[in-house]
Structure 1
Amino acid sequence: MSIQYLLDEHIPPLYRTQIVRRESSLIVRIIGDPEPKHLEDHLTEGRHIPGIFVIDPTQSIGQIIEELLIIAGASNDDEYQDRIEYLPLT
């Protein structure tokens, strides 16, 4: 797995803890607010972003973590580049 996750500062740290507990080889960092609107503008200007997954707050932590692990295990490095996707994908 070579996908890395950067979690918005508003995502509870429990997400990082549980992802790493399930798949210790994943790199998961918590960052400041990525400002999704700013990133949309960034894409419109022809620039690149690594990809954004927007979490559905009605999903449980377990469902979200499972989805992120499936994505990491089944995706190419740049598969989500320049895309904003809403979870769940499945």
Structure 2
Amino acid sequence: YDWDVGNEAITDDVSAQDPYRQSPMYKLCGDEFIVKAFQYAREADPKALLFYNDYNECDPVKSKRIFEMVKKLKQQGAPIDGLGFQSH
């Protein structure tokens, strides 16, 4: 039915110049790995809904960064169907 494909890519450090968490994949590929992950997920399960998931979206800086990232990824061809936010 659906997959969380991208998860917690945005840093919690609102003062950081680079909005992305410095994960090993990000350091290796930049944000292209997120686009590719969504494209591969769509190929693997064409009927599934694909989501980006994050937390602390109540912080206005992080919320804006999430929005800008998703907008950019969609412009680059990432088939993102929706957003998920943790609520625990």
TM-score (norm 1): 0.28
